[in-house]
Structure 1
Amino acid sequence: MINSPEVKELINLIKDSFRVRPNQNPIYIDFSNNLERLKAKQHQIIFGRRGSGKSCLLVHFKNTISDNDSLEIYIEADEIKRLGYPDILTRLLLSIMEKIVTSRNWWQKIVYSKSKLNKSIKNLRKLLDQAENRQVKQEENQTTNYSTKAEKGIFSGSFGKSNSLGKLSEFQESKLDTLERYLSDYKNALKEEIKRRNIQTVYILLDDFYLIKKERQPDVVDYLHRLVRGTEMYLKIGTVKHRTTLVRNEEQTIGVVLNQDIEPINLDRTLENLTAPTQFLSNLLNSLGKKVGLNNPAIDLFNPQALEKLVIASGGVPRDFLTILADAIENAISQNKNHITPTNVWKSASSFSYQNKLKDLRVDVGADAQSIEKVFRDILKFCIVDKKRTSFLVAQEEAQKEINLHELILQLMDGKLLHIIEPDTSAASNRPGRYEAYTLDFSLFMEPRKRGIEIVEFWNFDESGRRIGVRESPIYSLENAKNAISNEDDITTETLIDNFENEQSSL
């Protein structure tokens, strides 16, 4: 079974689906009616970790939903992430406007070449080339006229003289001032062009929004929201939840408010409810299997418990699930096995290891990487060296007080180096309060399996319906995270983990 031509074709299909490109139509299997939801005339933000299917959903929507009445504009934030502010706004405006003026029939480009929108495009391109601030000189002329009238016999005439006095004023003009001053003009030009071209709805699909500098995200989404509000243009933004800041409160509120200005769509299925990701990923695998002639690969390819271990190893993330699966199949074939075993899963999860996740994390968080990795190294030492357990608790009361420190834990969760297993639990041994429970990613300790470390099997339950080992987990204080950030630490995360493994091998 596992060495059949159909399974080999399945592996190729999986590998072809790893990277989503806007010029291709990816394989997208919609179990949650997200495609239909995206058609709604609402501004929406799609949350999901790397590999959860955000780009796949947006690109598939762009390539399949288009009809004569709508226009889909797909923008990758990766292409503009290095731009300063407000150049990033200028480039976004150009992407939207230029896509609209190049849509529909070729003759419209000629007939409407002098439209307001085309003029706006020309002005924005000039603005893009200017310095962020420039010195502007403006001359104001004041003219005084003198006239007289004379009459003599049949002759009459008037004689005049004028004097001009010039006053030169000088002031600073910034790009942002220009963009704000002409916002209403841009909106009106867009509305006029959309109506002229008989476009009923415009979907602006902004992918990987989290790559834009976090401190500028509220400004960007605020400007875009003001631009499209009251029009037939709708924002559809893909991003990672805890790498995204949508609002900033100053004298005025800058940004958008979830469930008020913009509707959230969550693609993440986490390990706190193992049934949900298992069902979803099984359906995903079976749907892919049908494309290559396999009826029920979610059952036929696995030994007992191997599928469950694959879901756990992937953290419930679809792309990670498929990546580990493809390698696990090849691993099982190399060992002449008929089915995938849990050992094949752990070996493959190790090859798709924490190094890849660290690399992605460093790209995603930018300047915050140093602080986040210091906290991660401290958690590793706390769990593996000090407490010798793979799970830990964080007090909810402390999380509410230390919001910024708690945010670093959540970003490690978005980076798939930690996984939440219980958002609200008590602690054993009469420890008061309520807690969040987390586990280290399984690639950190399953292959090679760490000796002397208690692996908390949170997916199993006792007779009282409680997760085994979770309430007994040690409490990690966010004060430890604060100290870790302030301490000088010149060791890399990779070196720290290698040291753990060397110590294990010497035992």
Structure 2
Amino acid sequence: SNKASFWKKYFGGKPSRPPFDKKACAALIATINGHLVSLKGQLHSADNAEIEAVLEQAASTKETATDAFTAGIKIPNANVSSSITGTMEQMASTQTKHLVSFRRSKVEFLRRHVMDFQSVFAQMGTLSGGDSYLILDDLYHLRRPEQPLVVDYLHSIAKGNRLWLKIGTIKHRSSWYVHGSPPQGMKLGDDADEIDLDLTLEKYLIAKDFLRKILQNLAASVGFSGHLDFLTETGLDRMVLASGGVARDFLAIFRRSVLATKERGDESSRGERIGAEDVNVAAGDYEPTKREEFKRDVYDEEESKLNDVFQEVRDFCLRTANSNCFLIDKEMNDKKVDAIHELVDLKLLHLIRSRVTVNTRQGKIYEAYMLDLSQYAGARKKRDLELVEFWTNDSRDQLRKASLIYIEKAK
């Protein structure tokens, strides 16, 4: 097919703007490749290494001296003369060596070249007549003190150069702004906007509707009815709880739920549809996967601290409160609360209500959390545990019990 038919077939029409300048594109590509070579060289070299360099300077001088002697004899009808000329050259050279010592700094290299990188994206904008996009995912894998430095550097490149930044990270495991002189990083609301991509259990009905549609589309793509006849309503609710509202976990638990249903067979009293008990089994089987993700997403020095807090919360829910939910005083702000927020980001705990009052605590506001279903389902099933169905209107009084308070500020 010709070019016109190609564009019409895949894009419905011809391009609305002319093609890019080939020479300008080639020049920009060459510039980018040059920067890549330099950056790769820095990447594979040792940082903060002691470097010694020898600078040589050479100088030479040349002196020339000329002597002349002339003599003449006069005789009748003739003059006789002679001359002798002598030239002497003298050359002298000197060579000086200087030993210079310095430390290699990758950070300083980046700072020295920031204007070069700004120029690259500015040229992209001019060449394309549009904006560029730079995507950085999993910022939280960097050490926390370094995160605002990286964000600040990328922001300095992007600002005013038609470059958009998209940075993906885990909220309570990230620092993107540090006050100082000068401040470093990007300030939310001023320099950047926050977009929350996760639907949490706090917005349970919205999350349930969203996940239901995902499953309906998936079922329709393989010829099943969009009504999800293979899944009970209680099974769907339990699956939403088990996933914490995260689509990836929802689909993974759904797959395990199908296997659990097939293993128990059609002759079971629960029938052939996926039910809450099947999801409980699947959630318990999914627990090792969550643990592996937990270990991968935290630093070694943080793992023990977070795991200790998680075990304390788990013991409180299963042994003390005998409930899948617990409360935290909204005024509390200490390291344990920070750890709980991180565990929420790591999907081992789930925020279900941001504002709860307790009957016997007048004037106090609490946050309600749920322990992940994998901790009391499947092989870890705990009998007689009170499961608070927080998404229903009838559950409001269940969450207002003083016995669910895990942390509160002293009077």
TM-score using structure 1 length: 0.64
Matches within 5 A, 1:368-383: 368-383=302-317
Classify 1:340/1:124 alpha carbon distance in 2 versus 1 (closer, same or farther; 3 Å): closer
Letter in 2 for 1:365: V
Q: How many residue pairs are counted as aligned between the two chains?
A: 371
Tell me the distance in 1 between the aligned counterparts of 2:308 and 2:408. Answer: 13
Classify 1:181/1:345 alpha carbon distance in 2 versus 1 (closer, same or farther; 3 Å): same
* Stretch of structure 1 that moved more, 217-226 or 334-343: 334-343
Classify 1:301/1:130 alpha carbon distance in 2 versus 1 (closer, same or farther; 3 Å): same
Matches within 5 A, 1:55-204: 112=27, 115-134=30-49, 135-137=51-53, 139=55, 168-192=99-123, 195=126, 198=128, 200-204=130-134
Out of 326, 332, 344, the residue aligned to residue 398 of structure 1 is: 332
Tell me the distance in 2 between the aligned counterparts of 1:383 and 1:68. Answer: 60
Letter in 2 for 1:245: S
Q: Which residue of 2 aligns with 1:326?
A: 255
Q: Could you tell me how far 1:419 is from its partner in structure 2?
A: 0.9
Q: Could you tell me how far 1:425 is from its partner in structure 2?
A: 1.3
- Is contact 1:460–1:468 with CA below 8 Å preserved after alignment? no
Out of 391, 394, 399, the residue aligned to residue 459 of structure 1 is: 391
Q: Which residue of 2 aligns with 1:411?
A: 342
Q: Secondary structure at the match of 2:224?
A: coil
Q: Which residue of 2 aligns with 1:341?
A: 275
Classify 1:244/1:454 alpha carbon distance in 2 versus 1 (closer, same or farther; 3 Å): same
Tell me the distance in 1 between the aligned counterparts of 2:328 and 2:171. Answer: 20
Q: Could you tell me how far 1:306 is from its partner in structure 2?
A: 2.3
Tell me the distance in 1 between the aligned counterparts of 2:144 and 2:299. Answer: 10
Provide, for residues 395-444 of structure 1, a one-character-per-residue CA deviation record: whole Å limited to 9, x for no partner.
11113xx2x43221011111221111111111222354111111111121
- Is contact 2:54–2:97 with CA below 8 Å preserved after alignment? no
| Higher RCO (CA-CA < 8 Å; seq separation 6+) | 1
Classify 1:194/1:117 alpha carbon distance in 2 versus 1 (closer, same or farther; 3 Å): farther
Tell me the distance in 2 between the aligned counterparts of 1:194 and 1:136. Answer: 41
Letter in 2 for 1:437: A
Tell me the distance in 1 between the aligned counterparts of 2:367 and 2:174. Answer: 21
Q: Could you tell me how far 1:149 is from its partner in structure 2?
A: 11
Tell me the distance in 2 between the aligned counterparts of 1:68 and 1:366. Answer: 49
Matches within 5 A, 1:35-46: none
Provide, for residues 29-56 of structure 1, a one-character-per-residue CA deviation record: whole Å limited to 9, x for no partner.
xxxxxxxxxxxxxxxxxxxxxxxxxxxx
Classify 1:214/1:161 alpha carbon distance in 2 versus 1 (closer, same or farther; 3 Å): same
Q: Percent identity?
A: 29
- Is contact 2:357–2:400 with CA below 8 Å preserved after alignment? yes
* Stretch of structure 1 that moved more, 143-152 or 468-477: 143-152
1:359 paired with 2:274, answer: no
Provide, for residues 112-149 of structure 1, a one-character-per-residue CA deviation record: whole Å limited to 9, x for no partner.
49944333233223222322123243648597989999
Tell me how large the CA RMSD over aligned residues is: 3.7
Out of 208, 212, 216, the residue aligned to residue 146 of structure 2 is: 216
Q: Could you tell me how far 1:296 is from its partner in structure 2?
A: 1.9
Classify 1:389/1:127 alpha carbon distance in 2 versus 1 (closer, same or farther; 3 Å): same
Out of 275, 278, 282, the residue aligned to residue 212 of structure 2 is: 282
Provide, for residues 425-468 of structure 1, a one-character-per-residue CA deviation record: whole Å limited to 9, x for no partner.
11222354111111111121133531343332323323xxx624
Tell me the distance in 2 between the aligned counterparts of 1:243 and 1:350. Answer: 26
- Is contact 1:69–1:199 with CA below 8 Å preserved after alignment? no
Tell me the distance in 1 between the aligned counterparts of 2:206 and 2:136. Answer: 28
Classify 1:145/1:193 alpha carbon distance in 2 versus 1 (closer, same or farther; 3 Å): farther
Tell me the distance in 2 between the aligned counterparts of 1:241 and 1:68. Answer: 40
Letter in 1 for 2:179: N
Q: Could you tell me how far 1:373 is from its partner in structure 2?
A: 0.3
Q: Secondary structure at the match of 1:216?
A: helix
Q: Could you tell me how far 1:289 is from its partner in structure 2?
A: 2.1
Classify 1:477/1:110 alpha carbon distance in 2 versus 1 (closer, same or farther; 3 Å): closer
- Mark the structure with the bigger radius of gyration: 2
Q: Could you tell me how far 1:274 is from its partner in structure 2?
A: 1.5
Provide, for residues 190-231 of structure 1, a one-character-per-residue CA deviation record: whole Å limited to 9, x for no partner.
4346655x4733322223232223332212222122122222
Judging by fraction of residues, say which structure has more strand.
2
Letter in 1 for 2:407: S
Q: Secondary structure at the match of 1:137?
A: strand
TM-score using structure 2 length: 0.77
Q: Which residue of 2 aligns with 1:271?
A: 201
Provide, for residues 225-267 of structure 1, a one-character-per-residue CA deviation record: whole Å limited to 9, x for no partner.
2122222332222222222221223332221122322222212
Tell me the distance in 1 between the aligned counterparts of 2:304 and 2:59. Answer: 64
Q: Could you tell me how far 1:311 is from its partner in structure 2?
A: 1.2
Classify 1:117/1:296 alpha carbon distance in 2 versus 1 (closer, same or farther; 3 Å): closer
